[in-house]
Structure 1
Amino acid sequence: MNEELVVRLNDKEYANWLKAGQCLYILKDALHPYTDEQMRVFHRALLRDNPRLGEQCPRSCQSGDVKLSRACGLCLQWKSEILRHHRQPGSTLNWDNCTPPAWRTNHWELAKAYMPRGQAHINAAHQCDPSALLNLINFCDLFASVGVHSSHVRELIRCRNDLMHSPDLRVKEAWMKKFKVVLRRFVQLFSQVPSMAQVEPKLAQMLAVDLSICAMDAVDYHGMALAADSLDCHIHLRPESIGQWEADLLQERLRELRHLAEDETVDTEQLLMLDGFLQENKDLGQRFSAELQAISTLGTGQKKS
């Protein structure tokens, strides 16, 4: 049993942070089959409507060529299509996510143009973090055409950003109440999606579970079944699985901080607070010391001693 994990999970607001983050990963797991299939359909439709898009790039264009509009005519045509289907084409697009010559054959290379930065090495929907899929749904107008209202998506993205930008990795009960409402609205948008059918009861159980008890021993947690057919959903929780949720969330946070540090826009106060948290929790500090060192070097030039 990890005693440091037990201490952390007895902090109610930290447990809230962890449970809310895991809710986003539950959503992500349900969304990735749907987003993958929708992007396949979208990609086929673009090629059907404009067969020239299926031709091979003659110059092996790079993302920087597309960004500066100096790519070949074919890749610039793909760029034009991507912008035409972007709900906010005036915003900054992360072309560095993409390998432009692959747009003609790989639907997920197309999807990555609508995502936050850092997706260059992601090759499939199931490899994405929640933010990537939420931003894809928000920005690609394909999802507007199937009835997804972006206001509810943006509400959930704001909650995700609140969660991941929490300087002390804690959220209060009042925030959790708002988060539950936003989650419910988001899930209702996808009521006709088969992979989302069991999400609401899973989310309800995750939000209700007492992680401090689960950390002490292996626990079978039976939550209330909320699905219309009253199926009994079941969560099996062990300390090692809770620890993995924690690691996934921290890895996502560190990845985001690294991108900010590369742009020289990292919030030094947040970086130092995360540094302090990892130093206080030596099990996590040992696991993530290399990542934090790299970010600190980029962001401040010198790691806090």
Structure 2
Amino acid sequence: MAGIADVLTESERTNWLKSLLAIAIAKSGVEKFVEKEATTLHGNIYNAILSSGAVACNGCHTANLLKCPTRKICIKVGAQCTSMHDTALKQPRPCPANVCNRVLDEIAKQHRFSNPSWKNTSANHWSSNPWQIAKAYFPPDGYTETSSVQDTDFNGIISFMMNCKHFNNTFSFPIAPAKPHPPCILTKAREICRTIRHSSTSKVTDTVLQDIFITLTSLLTGPQCLAHDAAAQEAASKLAKLQSNVLKLTTADIINYENSCKGHGAEVEWFNFDGELIFNKITQDQRLCDAEEEELVLNMSTVTVVTRTQWYAKSSKEGAKYMTMPVSHMFIHHTDMNECVSQTECVIEMRKIQHLHQDINGWADIAYNFVIGQDGGVYIGRGWDRVGAHTLGWNNVSISFAFMGNFTDKLPTDDALKALEEALVLGVKLGKLTPDFKLHGHRDARPSMESPGQKLYDRIRKHKHYEPIGPNIVTVSPKSPV
């Protein structure tokens, strides 16, 4: 297990990491409470409406219940609405059961600022999923795919508590009081989340970190609602240990915190390499794998991973596109450029490859997910989850590994081949590759290509995961800006 203070040597980056984990821990402490309150709110609304003998309806879209135009939602071009009411099934109409329109009215009445986030919520699921009603109190965009408290970020959860009047008497303090009153704990917690996730430096001062711990601990130990909540108190205990550098994290813990952080704030990916940890921060604007991001590698004993920061990668030209993981296909390439036998040489070669792909070919970034040098180093290209630009027709459903050099007449070094095998094992462990993934050479999908070179191709055809294929349908073309 790793202590937080062991991950970073620079104190303000350690503080940033602590802040990020503190937010994830605080989220875990309020999830059950908020989920219970969402269920209570849902019950209150439906019990009042259905008490007269009405029957719940699941046949209305949110758009059906809103007039057109609705302020800040509808975009009209002439007489046509091109956003909310853009199809025949989504035109305004009353609920046949006279239920959904009444639910909509109750949701609006419960909103502190009378401005529900209708784009987030699906009326056809209101009767069956309390969280769909809770989503009406989230920030206005970006939550259409969330369906539970677990896959909602801390900002969304805090916004629910702040914007819904149901919580008025839940806390021991007034929620979102008007100026000149000082901000409440919920307001402070939301601001913490925004500040940390939008940090361009990934640094937090000691003073700010102290304020973060005070605010989040105060939220979790509030005397009126959370002081006797077991999950909240467990989270408060973890915060105290994190603050004093005695919290120990297993890989399972970190994966749980990764899931907590995903969504609309900074995301955290923790990769397990035979029990050791790699930390990778992804910012809100999806500058995944940008040169300025800090990818932190701790005690890598089996594989040498060279981060984008370490090979001085340039920023991606476009926002990242992501695959649905795990994928069941992976492709082997060769770069058909220079070989490199040391990290110094391979860093130079990586810069050349990125220049070719970005500046000459006009792609958003280096094409491959990973590149392997003859030194045995695994150089991060686009990483596991990002759509690459490596294999026409397969870019958004496969991961690519490219060996630096030309392997028409010879094989890569033993170190390079071993690095590939260890990376594939890792991919399965991380859930990035299916256990029965299919391994292909580049030329399997593009018969006109020489890649990965005849000698290397002969080698991979003997691999237990190898499977020949024919050209697939075009999904994301390398000519696109991905």
User: Given the two structures, how large is their TM-score scaled by the length of structure 2?
Assistant: 0.46
| Alpha-carbon displacement from aligned partner over 1:3-47 (angstroms, at most 9, x marks no partner) | xx9997223222211211111111211211111112212211222
What is aligned with 1:193?
Answer: 229
What SS is found at the alignment partner of 1:197? Answer: helix
Aligned: 1:176 with 2:176: no
Larger radius of gyration: 2
What SS is found at the alignment partner of 1:127? Answer: coil
1:22–1:173 distance in 2 versus 1, CA, 3 Å: same
- Higher helix residue share: 1
What SS is found at the alignment partner of 1:286? Answer: coil
1:194–1:253 distance in 2 versus 1, CA, 3 Å: closer
| Alpha-carbon displacement from aligned partner over 1:57-114 (angstroms, at most 9, x marks no partner) | 37x3323344546253433322211111111214xx3323221022123212111111
What is aligned with 2:55?
Answer: 55
1:26–1:80 distance in 2 versus 1, CA, 3 Å: same
Aligned: 1:106 with 2:142: no
What is the alpha-carbon distance in structure 2 between the residues aligned to residue 18 and residue 53 of structure 1? 53
What is the alpha-carbon distance in structure 2 between the residues aligned to residue 249 and residue 61 of structure 1? 32
What is aligned with 1:84?
Answer: 109
Any conservation in 1 of the 2:110–2:164 contact (CA below 8 Å)? yes
User: Given the two structures, how large is their TM-score scaled by the length of structure 1?
Assistant: 0.69
What is the alpha-carbon distance in structure 2 between the residues aligned to residue 136 and residue 254 of structure 1? 19
What SS is found at the alignment partner of 1:61? Answer: coil
Any conservation in 2 of the 1:108–1:125 contact (CA below 8 Å)? yes
1:134–1:76 distance in 2 versus 1, CA, 3 Å: same
2:240 counterpart letter in structure 1: A
What is the alpha-carbon distance in structure 2 between the residues aligned to residue 114 and residue 36 of structure 1? 14
Any conservation in 1 of the 2:27–2:260 contact (CA below 8 Å)? no
Deviation at 1:277, TM superposition (A): 2.8
What SS is found at the alignment partner of 1:110? Answer: helix
What is aligned with 1:119?
Answer: 143
Any conservation in 1 of the 2:193–2:265 contact (CA below 8 Å)? no
1:28 counterpart letter in structure 2: K
Any conservation in 2 of the 1:57–1:72 contact (CA below 8 Å)? no
Aligned: 1:237 with 2:284: no
What SS is found at the alignment partner of 1:55? Answer: coil
What is aligned with 1:215?
Answer: none
1:208–1:45 distance in 2 versus 1, CA, 3 Å: same
Deviation at 1:53, TM superposition (A): 9.7
What is aligned with 2:458?
Answer: none
What is aligned with 1:229?
Answer: none
What is aligned with 1:131?
Answer: 155
What is aligned with 2:383?
Answer: 286
What is aligned with 2:168?
Answer: 144
Structure 2 unaligned regions, length at least 5: 69-91, 176-183, 268-284, 294-307, 311-378, 389-395, 397-479
Deviation at 1:288, TM superposition (A): 5.1
| Alpha-carbon displacement from aligned partner over 1:130-187 (angstroms, at most 9, x marks no partner) | 2221111111111113235322101110111111111122212121122122123212
What is aligned with 2:197?
Answer: 164
What is the alpha-carbon distance in structure 1 between the residues aligned to residue 53 and residue 199 of structure 2? 43
Deviation at 1:246, TM superposition (A): 6.4
- Higher strand residue share: 2
1:196–1:71 distance in 2 versus 1, CA, 3 Å: farther
What is the alpha-carbon distance in structure 1 between the residues aligned to residue 191 and residue 122 of structure 2? 29
What is the alpha-carbon distance in structure 2 between the residues aligned to residue 242 and residue 284 of structure 1? 24
Q: Provide the aligned length of Structure 1 versus Structure 2.
A: 255
Any conservation in 2 of the 1:87–1:140 contact (CA below 8 Å)? yes
1:82 counterpart letter in structure 2: I
What is aligned with 1:75?
Answer: 100
**Which 10-residue stretch deviates more, 10-19 or 46-55?**
46-55
**Which 10-residue stretch deviates more, 179-188 or 36-45?**
179-188
